[in-house]
A = this chain, B = another copy of it.
């Protein structure tokens, strides 16, 4: 939940839980001193005979409206429905599917979308439907329309751009506010745009990075979720940077997905609050 800060917020929420004989398992709270904005994430359990999930949600609504809050209440067993968008690089998809296979994420992956067929075998190996949309400059608008329809039909909650080499239109982005996660292969805001590894190589940096962020209309400008880095030296060729960067990209994207799927990220304007 996020809302303008004021006294009594924690008290109201924790009392609400206590009155239902619930116990708080995990609580994270943050107040942004600049924007006077309040952020909270609470995990709690409750005796099973103390009302259905819908009844609890309805009971909390008046308080939330009073706070002018944006909020989500989810049963702990619920799973986010994720579509992964890819092009030709396999490392990020490989990472997500493998981690998913060993149960690291509370998600379902009912769909993989690509503009190429290269990774269809990898998708098949994990038994996930793989749909090719051969996007070109000419058909881009139509392809996106069909993608959006498909996502809607399949009730997809979250789109992961796992090195998907196409820029999404504002309409597509607008369909998933704080619901599309991209991995950019540089330490943003350094090296925005294309070929960041070549840019890094030519600049002679001693550290390269990767950045996962929510996608907004402004390319490479969305709220940053997670970043990580690795050292490079004069010995590293451009190919070495790409190799080292691959490891960063898949780890950083996987971490962002885990945080997102566990509702641990709250957006604060152009930034994120991450309750890790």
Tell me the A residues contacting B by CB distance below 8 Å: 5-11, 14-15, 17-18, 21-33, 90-91, 94, 98, 102, 104, 125, 187-191, 202-207, 209, 223-229, 233-235, 237, 243, 247, 251, 268, 270-274, 276
Contacts and interface: CB of A to CB of B under 8 A. Distances in A.
A33 B189 contact: no
12 contacts: A9-B24, A10-B10, A14-B15, A33-B237, A94-B98, A189-B191, A202-B270, A204-B223, A206-B274, A233-B274, A234-B268, A247-B251
Given A11-B18, A23-B6, A27-B29, A206 B227 contact: yes
A140 B144 CA distance: 58
B7 A27 contact: no
Copies of this chain assembled into the complex: 4
Given A11-B17, A31-B26, A247-B251, A207 B191 contact: no
Contact of A229 (B21, B30, B229): B229
B190 A203 contact: no
Nearest to A42: B10
B31 A7 contact: no
Given A31-B24, A189-B190, A268-B234, A207 B209 contact: yes
A125 to B, nearest CB: 6
A273 B234 contact: yes
